[in-house]
Structure 1
């Protein structure tokens, strides 16, 4: 339902003033600095919240610039969406989160800093045969062949050129161009891009319902940089272990990384910032000059933060899609078969979500890479059940002789794509979001401020570093 602008803001204000104290951090715990012995106080120039792609990159670059840093990370490792599995029987590694990077200088320089060699990433295993299957039924889609997207992609690139500024962030003109706010399905029809729709869906995994998504977010996720990468090829590590850079970063940062830790409270009202953190060894008080937040700024992620009314109002507007990855073994699927979810009798053969995007063989025989998307969050149990049902449906339909699979690895990447309403975009949401940079000694980076792409996020963060150092 689309609200008129004034009514929308009235209802949002009513929601914030009546429900937020119980949902977020309107009244975080106070920090009594005298209650902590010197051994539990960490003094740094910059405290970084989140040790994912941007958090780790920021820590290394700021440290290289002479700043003392500390990272607060909830997981037991650095790397965020970058997931790597080591097969116990072969000792081979398989990336099942972030699988490739752009072939650009910032990527090559970052990996070279840690002496990690790169190679062109290959999209398929040798001899792979692709089957196009509707996972709702488990049946092959009769008579289907992928559209030749070459001409339509050229037309798509021509449209991207009109809005080249979205490649660097959300620094939008106002009024926001109407085409950027069209549902992408309408944009496709308007500009005759039908033959590219299914191809783009395959690349825009995790974006939710592609044809319903605003064109702005589609452009952000598949922009000029990706068009260039299609020509130059993507990069991956020569050792097929994209997590290696995070392992080496962790070894270098050492005690400056607090793993399995979370924020209890923050205070950003003085000359610097105070961050109270719960760690496996007890609570620690971080005293820093500046704070860099790299986690998705959803209110549910910001318990304990002393959010201002403006921050609360902005972050409360974020919606998100959901994305999940897994590795399966003992599926019964032949090692050379790759399966792509293809909608029978759907627009552009795009399958409805929630559903698997694909089942792909990996470099480890019998181990299959799974990608699963939804427009809304599901429990891990729900996702895993749907994956198993989809595999078994292939057998029921007589397409392949499958068996109940075993999960070798599984990861939930939710919240994934953070979006806001059309009314919010038109009303200057991203102008106001970017205006938060530097306020109350706090800076922000991460996908909500740019896009779900490590390579492009490192570029965005690189552009932010001078203002942090100023």
Structure 2
């Protein structure tokens, strides 16, 4: 189409008018004493910080209880640590992060609410296993993990002394000395050595399990875990655990801000909290009477927050482990064999970290599941390089020539957040829990309980009456 001079002038004038309207549409607000320009203002009863397992559960439950919500999530999806790979060739799904949940009513009810079917599953997997020293790549044909039954029975008796540990960090004071012991010392004190190998493999992501205070290990590997090991866990019937979060996303609709970054948080107003969010479509200000905080409370995650002196003092005490998951392609390794990393140089022959816990089948030809742990967080490039070099050196009989590469890789770091025994004994968690409800904010998520979706949903459920109170 050819524009006349008058049409061109009208078109140019339209652009100027549109720009003027946009400028007028931009709103000015003040947060933490600083003027800010925003494109959109929304008001909700509750703003939820983080759209992982706990944040998504909070959003669905609060919505069902008649509250309006807005979820702020930095990734392009809900679900956090729950991730599913779909093979582009066969379409077959594989859950390469969260695999199972506890068989509890709260779990069954939540999945039923979102119309996702569940089936029983074991957490230990099935099929043949071979043991290797991943540091040298050599097989250890004479290694056997032994029977963990005596140690597990003795461990269950110890867990029974501290039933409150299964519910959170509402500890008894003075804190029992056994809970403060490094877990390796606790194991020896109570003759639990036969379960040493099993618990290291199960409690992946905790870093050096035997150096951690026993409290954290008990919370991660508690009495309901022992019960489900015997009776079976739950997983999705489609073997696609991300379905839970896809259905939740559809249910919440426009009340989710994905690919979004928090720029500032102002909780100084007595009536409401303000959260300034950079979204793909502009800057949105979310006003709400309550905040539900679910992300790891590390100071590097909280730039722009109006942290109090107490919040800053508590959050800076956290240390964290590192945990990483991946799917390996073109490795030349057998697709039907679990390769377990054991070491002849560690006390319980557990894998030396940083390193791989093991390599397991996905059920998809030429694709293998990888889990990697470290005591501290590591750069992704370092982890990826180590995964590939380790896979290449494994001397597995019958392996074919391959060129290992990562089909997918995911960083779950910071993972386990911990403080030293002295801080635990000194009332760290009493002060941390004292933050609940202060400055419009309620706290949940792994740092306030444990890395276990099922138990976190229970923990969050207990907070709901206070969150929904006027």
Same fold (TM over 0.5): yes
Offset from partner CA, 1:375-407 (integer Å, 9 cap, x none): 011111100100011111114x87845533121
**What SS class does the counterpart of residue 348 from structure 1 fall into?**
coil
Paired position in structure 1 for 2:20? none
1:49 counterpart = 2:49? yes
State TM-score, norm by structure 2: 0.91
Which whole-Å CA distance do the structure 2 matches of 1:104 and 1:405 have between them? 40
SS at match of 1:236: strand
For residue 373 of structure 2, give the secondary structure of its aligned residue in structure 1: strand
Instruction: From the superposition, tell whether residues 398 and 361 of structure 1 become closer, same or farther in structure 2 (CA, over 3 Å).
Output: closer
The separation in 2 between residues aligned to 1:213 and 1:125, in whole angstroms, is 26
Equivalent residues in 2 for 1:76-225, closer than 5 Å: 76-123=76-123, 128-225=127-224
Instruction: Give the RMSD, CA atoms, in angstroms.
Output: 1.5
Q: Shift in Å at residue 32 of structure 1?
A: 4.2
Residue 416 of structure 1 is matched in structure 2 by 415
Partner residue, 2:366: 366
Check whether the contact 1:125–1:362 (CA below 8 A) recurs between aligned residues: no
Query: Do the aligned partners of 1:354 and 1:373 also contact (CA within 8 Å) in 2?
Result: yes
Aligned to 1:328: 328
Kept in 1, the 8 Å contact 2:32–2:266? The answer is no
**Quick one: distance in 2 between partners of 1:356 and 1:404?**
18
Equivalent residue number for residue 449 of structure 1: 448
State the aligned residue count.
438
C-alpha deviations, 1:434-465, integer Å up to 9, x for none? 00000011001000000000111101100111
Residues in 1 aligned to 2:238 and 2:424: alpha-carbon distance in whole angstroms: 42
The alpha carbon displacement at 1:46 in A equals 0.4
Looking at structure 1, the residues matched to 280 and 196 of structure 2 have their Cα atoms a distance apart, in angstroms, of: 47
Q: Which has the larger radius of gyration?
A: 2
Does the 8 A contact of 1:125 with 1:363 survive in 2?
A: no
C-alpha deviation, 1:115, in angstroms: 1.4
Contact 1:394 1:401 in 2 (8 A): no
Is the 1:29–1:264 contact (alpha carbons within 8 Å) kept by the matching residues of 2?
no
CA contact (8 A) 1:392 1:402 kept: no
Residue 236 of structure 2: aligned partner: 237
Q: Which residue of 1 aligns with 2:5?
A: none
Give the distance between the partners of 1:402 and 1:439, measured in 2 at CA.
59
Deviations 1:195-221 (A, max 9, x none): 001100010000000111110110010
Q: 1:418 to 1:402 in 2, by over 3 A?
A: farther
Contact 2:130–2:340 (8 Å) recurs in 1: yes
1:354 — aligned with what? 354
State the Cα distance separating 1:143 from its structure 2 match.
1.4
TM-score by length of 1: 0.91
Q: 1:227: Cα distance to partner? A: 0.9
